[in-house]
Amino acid sequence: METSSTSEIMCADDVATWLGVDRKTVYNAAARGKIPCQRLGKRVLFSRHALVSWSACESGSARRMEAQNERTTR
């Protein structure tokens, strides 16, 4: 049996632990469309693969914004 730490599908509690944020923050981000998720009835589920891709994209965006800010403040 797979545990939630190795499962492809994650619940909000798993995502909150993985991201180091509160569960409410995960639900709010999902409701605003800021984090990839799927709804199954009342449940909000997250794909580990989609979150890894999203995280890499978000990290890249943050680095680009920092570089752009550095160039404009010189």
Q: What domains can you pick out in the chain, each with its CATH number?
A: 9-72 (1.10.1660)
Region of 55 please: left (phi>0), alpha (psi -120 to 50) or beta: alpha
Model pTM above 0.85: no
Full pLDDT tens readout for the chain, 74 residues? 444 445 799 999 999 999 999 999 999 999 999 999 999 999 999 999 999 998 888 877 655 555 555 666 55
CA atoms within 13 A on the CB side of 50: 13
Which spans in the chain are helix H?
12-19, 23-31, 48-72
Strand pairing partners for 39?
Answer: 44
